[in-house]
Each structure stands twice: as structure tokens, then as C-alpha cells.
Amino acid sequence: MAPSISISPTLTVQVQSLTDASPKQLINIGGISFTGTVLFYNESFPVQGGAPTAPGTAIPFISDPTNKINNNAPIVYVRNLDNSAIIALTMWLPTFAGGAAAQPGTINIGPGGFILVFNPTTGTSGATIVGGSNAGAIGFGASPAGGSTANLINLATITGNVSAVYAEVLVAG
């Protein structure tokens, strides 16, 4: 499929000294870009379905069994929009063939916090991923074994009222 989207974030990190108030720019990531074919973006994605005290509990994320986002997503961005609740993001992270099978990794995201994984390409030649074909991508839409439509990126709340917690979500591939 021909590319249909281009994602170009500009990212600059400034470190300011609070003791002398003279800011200095340490990192300028600049104009990294990714050209892909599919995109899921929800600026206010409802986090639902998980027990409030069960981090990592799966919730329906992309239920389309045809895997519109492909089996892998080189780009995943999740930001907690709540001002008090914590959400937990679980990502299935594929490994290279011959290595250990993909395992889910869960990380808590506090109020206002976010995680961004951004790979500029969908893969490299000669590399094979368990459960997918794209090196560096994050498994999505199918199990690591490739035979299931299990949701591999899950959001679950661990505190707060699940019906009132929202996250900004961007997934592209």
C-alpha cells in the first residue's frame, strides 16, 4: 500500500537551572519523520473496562480483527489526560527471531505523563520479528505468535474512576 500519512514531530528538550535561571538547550531532536499507511489517533480515548486495582487488565483497544494498524506499530504515543488517576500501558514488545518470545511490558503513566516510542522506519532487511515482520515495531493487533486477534496494547486504570479517565493515544504503522 502506498504511504498515506506522514508524521513529523519536532521535539526539543530544554534544561533550565533553577539556581541561576539561565536556560540551556541540551537536546534538539529535530524533524524526525515517519511515512506510513495507517493511523489511529484519539485525543480523548476513554480508558475503560479494567478493574481499578488491576494494572494491565486488558481493555478493548482496536477490536478490528483485520488489524488495521498492521501487526506492528512503529509509533506509539500515550498520554494520561487525567489529573489524578494513574493508567498502565501494556505493550507487547516483539523480539528478534531466535530470541526470547515477546513479552508484555507494563509501565505506569502518572497524571499528565506520557510515553513515546517512535521509530523512523517500519523495519530493516534481514531482521525478523516474532509475531511480525517489522523490526523495531511494537506488536499490535495480533498475538506474538501471530495466530490471535488479542489486543496487545492495553490500557488499564489502577486508581480513580475508570469511567472518567481519558488518554490521548496515537498509533501509526
Partner 1 sequence: MPNISIILQAQFVITDTTLSPSPQIITRQLNNPTLAATSEYYMPFFQTINGTKAIPLPAATVWLLYVRNLDPTNNITLNYTPTGGSSTSVILLAGSSAGNGGIFLYQQPAESAGGITAAGITATAVVSCCIQAAA
Residues that bind partner 1 (CB under 8 A): 2-19, 26-27, 29, 32, 35, 39, 41, 43, 74, 77, 79, 86, 91, 93-96, 103-121, 123-124, 127, 135-136, 138, 170, 172
CB of 66 to partner 1, least distance (A): 20
Q: Choose between 84 and 148: whose C-beta lies nearer to partner 1.
A: 84
For residue 5, the minimal CB distance to partner 1 (Å) is 6
User: By C-beta, is 14 or 65 nearer to partner 1?
Assistant: 14
d(CA 70, CA 109) in angstroms, rounded, equals 25
How far is Cα 125 from Cα 64, in angstroms, rounded to an integer? 28
Residue 160 CB, nearest distance to partner 1 (Å)?
11
CB of 21 to partner 1, least distance (A): 10
Residue 41 and residue 169 in contact, taking contact as beta carbons nearer than 8 Å? yes
CA distance 161 to 173: 31
Cell of 122: 517500519
Please, which residue, 65 or 127, has the CB nearer to partner 1?
127
Q: Which is nearer to partner 1, 126 or 147 (CB)?
A: 126
